[in-house]
Structure 1
Amino acid sequence: MKAAIVTIGDEILIGQIVDTNSGFIAKTLDKIGIEITEMLSISDHKTHILETFASLQNKVDLVLITGGLGPTKDDITKKTFCDYFEDELIVNQEILEHVTQLIEGFYKRPINQMNKDQALVPSKCIILKNPNGTAPGMWMQKEHTVFISLPGVPYEMKDILENEIVPKIVREYNRPFIIHQTVLTYGQGESMVAERIEDWENNLPDFIKLAYLPSPGRVRLRLSARGNSEEVLKNALSDQIKQLTELIGDIIVGYDDNDTIEVVLGRVLTQNKLTLATAESCTGGKIAQRITSVAGASAYFKGSIVCYSEEVKTAILKVSKQTIADYSVVSEQVAKEMALNVQQLMNVDYAIAVTGNAGPTKDATDEEVGTVFIALASPEMVFVEKFNFGQPREKVIDRAVNKSFEILQKEILKNVQ
């Protein structure tokens, strides 16, 4: 089965909000074997919506539309549905009762006509219940294509998709299996990884596809298998992952989309009852943010000092003023003191410290823009590595964060294995 996703809303096209709905829908449908062929964002304009529907008619099996179902005049999806399907709006009594209960019972205010109009739906549509809002989803078919309209509010859309649409698709359609396996690597660029696995990649079975998903300092390798036997696909993927691990096991840190390096680190730290703290200058707390994004991080992460200014480095973190005067804030010596001092201050086993010049100017240092020093203090020792991550500023910060995780993981695994 093939599907297209359409988001309706001028607020998306002018960059006022970010479309997160399409990604969630795509991921959910992929899990049940539906291939997404297009994602479109279009304006709240009747002609544009109708043209988009017509262009997708019989081209895909499913068209999922989000947005334009609110109670105000600029929300025109329902009326446009009626035009496209040559239908008319009628009051659905069950929806009206739900809307009334939500407005008067939950929100404790009188229901108005706009609220009541949310119970107007095309007479031919299949209603998709929305327990969290006033706008129901709508399922309508024309020739070989099903059009499904969903509210744009993310939590409303997600509930309808998971509890109404997915079960209906699973019941009524035969679908192939699509299985993905992601391998997360750190420390080598996309071209270097590709060179190491070239022969393996060239010999992949036809039903398995490989995609490279690079970002600064890391590369995700996504294997996608498609076929009619789930067991055959899982066994084939398992075999290929085993071969891949033999080739690049030294840079693999995880085997799942959710197995980010911070998740892997958290698991190792928890299992070995180890603790961690960070001291960050040029990364501005981004390392700590990534660490604390993992549920249960409080078991091993004690805290962070974001010492962006020289004053905080000396007054709070107790970095020597003389060290800064002799070597500047962007130096091996300052990074070392940052790591040791935050390790002692937080009483932890491991501490990572970062200081650098992310740009765009050199500020009070002779080091080139893009220079970053990363220090790691362990129970046995402290060491510092120097990098130049180039430009632009965002790239320097992202690569510094990822490299910090890579250094930390290698050192911890070396000591606990």
Structure 2
Amino acid sequence: MKAEIITIGDEILNGQIVDTNSAWMAQQLAPLHITVAQITSIADTETAITQALQQAETRAEIIIVTGGLGPTKDDVTKTTAARYFKTTLVRDPAVLKHVEQLFARRGYSDMPEVNKQQADVLASATVLFNDVGTAPGMAVERNGKYFAFLPGVPFEMKYLMENRVLPALSQKQSDVFVYNAHLITIGLGESHLARAIADIEEAMPPFLKLAYLPKLGMVRLRFTAVGKDPSVLQTEAERFAELVAERIKPHVVAHADITFEEVIINAFSEANLRLSTAESCTGGAIAAQITAIAGASRMFQGATVAYSNQAKMDVLHVHAQTLEKYGAVSEETVKEMAEGAKQVFHSEYAIATSGIAGPTGGTADKPVGMVCIAVAGKHETTTKTYYFKNDRTINIQRASMAALTLLWNLFQKEQLISEK
């Protein structure tokens, strides 16, 4: 089955908020073998909503709409949907009681009429009761199509998807299945990767497609098989993924749909190793990426953002002579920063960064984008200097990815030594 997701809201179109709802919903639909044919963001107007619904019906069997269910005048989704489905709005007593109770619990003795209108639902719809908010969802089935209208507030949308929509969709049987196999690669650009595996990709059967999903410093590969025999789909997707993995073996870090940070956390946790960071130009970005992942506490010891030379000396025990002779942005300095972090945080591994992220501060010898990175491991410390040529934000992102890659390579090297 195919689905289309429609997000409604001027705040999405003008960049005030980022649409994270669609990505999350697509991830939840995948296990049900429901592929997303299109994601559309539209203005909160009757014309835009009507046109989007009409077009979605031609492309998908499942249409999920988020946003525009609030109590204010600019939220016109319900009235537009009523016209679209040639029905009326009725006030649902159970929803009204729920909204009144929510207001009472929040200490409001009088509820405005506009909020009572949140209990208005399509007469032809199945009410998707919203236990965690005031705006109910609605489901409509017409001409073999399933429509779900959900609030745009992320935690309310997620609650209704998990407890109302997905259970309903799981009952809809499909004779077409989807299976995805995944690889995560680092240190090989998309074009070089494609060239290296061109013959393997060419040999794939028609029902198997390879998608390249590049990010800074890495490329995720997704092998998607679509057909009627689940066992064949799984076998072929995994077989070709393994062929690719063997071809580019030094660059493959995982055979799963997870992040590089999760790969590192899992590997360090299994090896009972600990990591710390000492960051200057990256400003704590590396530590933030690691600790954003659940389970990081199993291996992450701590971090410091040692921006000034004095902090580098006081916290990480960098020698004054090193800073004076080589400067803060040097491999000599980051080497001492990493080794100092190992001692301070009692970790087996440590990452250190120092550089000139920009847009100012560069010199002829040390231009904007120059970043020195060190990784101290169990047996050695490795250092490397990079010259990035982007804006400040991208330079920090590239430096963070480069640091994690340097960490992974040293970890892999030392693991091989330990196994011998």
Indicate conservation of the 8 Å contact 1:328/1:364, yes or no.
Answer: no
Indicate conservation of the 8 Å contact 2:4/2:59, yes or no.
Answer: no
Deviation sequence 1:78-116 (CA, Å, 0-9, x none): 111111122111122222232233332x33433442332
Q: TM-score with structure 2 length normalisation?
A: 0.93
Alignment of 1:374-413 (within 5 A): 374-413=373-412
Alignment of 1:43-62 (within 5 A): 43-62=43-62
Distance 1:268 1:164 in 2: 37
How far does residue 364 in structure 1 lie from its aligned partner after superposition?
Answer: 6.2
Distance 1:365 1:276 in 2: 34
Q: 2:277 matched to which residue of 1?
A: 278
Matched, 1:20 2:20: yes
Amino acid at match of 2:349: Y
Q: TM-score with structure 1 length normalisation?
A: 0.93
Amino acid at match of 2:138: M
Secondary structure at the aligned position of 1:273 is classed as coil
Distance 1:164 1:291 in 2: 33
Amino acid at match of 2:13: L
Amino acid at match of 1:36: V
How far does residue 3 in structure 1 lie from its aligned partner after superposition?
Answer: 2.1
Bigger drift between 95-104 and 249-258 goes to 95-104
How far does residue 353 in structure 1 lie from its aligned partner after superposition?
Answer: 0.9
Q: 1:100 matched to which residue of 2?
A: 100
* Counterparts in 2 of 1:147 and 1:270: CA distance versus 1, 3 Å: closer
Distance 2:102 2:360 in 1: 55
Alignment of 1:4-19 (within 5 A): 4-19=4-19
Q: 1:257 matched to which residue of 2?
A: 257
Bigger drift between 261-270 and 180-189 goes to 261-270
Distance 1:379 1:174 in 2: 53
Matched, 1:308 2:307: yes
How far does residue 159 in structure 1 lie from its aligned partner after superposition?
Answer: 1.5
Distance 1:44 1:130 in 2: 22
Secondary structure at the aligned position of 1:181 is classed as strand
Secondary structure at the aligned position of 2:138 is classed as strand
* Counterparts in 2 of 1:281 and 1:364: CA distance versus 1, 3 Å: farther
Amino acid at match of 1:368: P
Say what the alpha-carbon RMSD is for the aligned residues: 1.9
Count residues with an aligned counterpart: 415
Distance 1:351 1:96 in 2: 56
Q: 1:180 matched to which residue of 2?
A: 180
Matched, 1:86 2:108: no
Amino acid at match of 1:234: Q
Distance 2:363 2:402 in 1: 24
Amino acid at match of 1:88: T
Distance 1:380 1:255 in 2: 28
Bigger drift between 209-218 and 32-41 goes to 32-41
Distance 1:215 1:368 in 2: 24
Deviation sequence 1:122-143 (CA, Å, 0-9, x none): 2111211211112111122444
Secondary structure at the aligned position of 1:44 is classed as coil
* Counterparts in 2 of 1:175 and 1:97: CA distance versus 1, 3 Å: farther
* Counterparts in 2 of 1:300 and 1:147: CA distance versus 1, 3 Å: closer
Indicate conservation of the 8 Å contact 2:379/2:414, yes or no.
Answer: no
Distance 2:262 2:352 in 1: 20
Distance 1:56 1:341 in 2: 58
How far does residue 365 in structure 1 lie from its aligned partner after superposition?
Answer: 7.3
Deviation sequence 1:148-206 (CA, Å, 0-9, x none): 21111111111211221122122134252112222111112112211221111111121
Stretches of structure 2 lacking an aligned partner (at least 5 in a row): none
Q: 2:39 matched to which residue of 1?
A: 39
Indicate conservation of the 8 Å contact 2:316/2:341, yes or no.
Answer: yes
Deviation sequence 1:359-396 (CA, Å, 0-9, x none): 22344672233222111222322221222233233332
Q: 2:66 matched to which residue of 1?
A: 66
Distance 2:386 2:363 in 1: 18
Secondary structure at the aligned position of 1:316 is classed as helix
Deviation sequence 1:60-80 (CA, Å, 0-9, x none): 222211111112222211111
Bigger drift between 149-158 and 261-270 goes to 261-270
Distance 2:58 2:332 in 1: 66
Q: 2:359 matched to which residue of 1?
A: 360
How far does residue 212 in structure 1 lie from its aligned partner after superposition?
Answer: 0.8
Alignment of 1:106-125 (within 5 A): 106-110=105-109, 111-125=111-125
